[in-house]
Structure 1
Amino acid sequence: AFHTQGEVIFWGLENMEPPESETIVNEFARVSGYEPVKSANSYAGYKDWYIQDWRRPGFTVELGKGTNPLPISQFDEIYQKSLGIFLAGLYM
């Protein structure tokens, strides 16, 4: 899932995520500069449902910083950082 607030990547859910999740999120962090954050205290998001029901790696990427709606001036930076994540998803 992609949201807009914080330049972090949320991953994991009560240790239900498979071991490869950490490898994947670390690569996403490397290519984007976003901080990986394990197990945010949320249980109602798409990432949480996906991990819980499918036991597959799931992530919520929070793009950009500031107050929503984010300014259009952040578009190029957000695009470049998220492009790295999209491309890493092809080889991870």
Structure 2
Amino acid sequence: MNMTFALLARFNNPVVPLRDVCKEFFGVNPKTAEQHAKAGKFPIPTFKMRDSERAPTFVNVNDLADYLQAQYDSARAEWERVQS
């Protein structure tokens, strides 16, 4: 199954609040994720729907899927290297 389709099925939306994915996929709490996003140091692009400090921060599932796939591909290559 395609990673993007799996994430779309899970979240039922192509845009997901950062707070909904930060702990599970990045291992950081929402406050830390917001700080990293604000500083431009979060591993994937983030955005707000309006120009406001209080507006929630979002991620696109395509960007999240690409990141997860890259992490998997890297781990798979390392595993294959160790196995040979």
Instruction: For CA contacts below 8 A with separation 6 or more, give which structure has more relative contact order.
Output: 1
Higher strand share: 1
TM range (shorter): under 0.3
Normalising by structure 1, we get a TM-score of 0.24
Larger radius of gyration: 2
Normalising by structure 2, we get a TM-score of 0.25
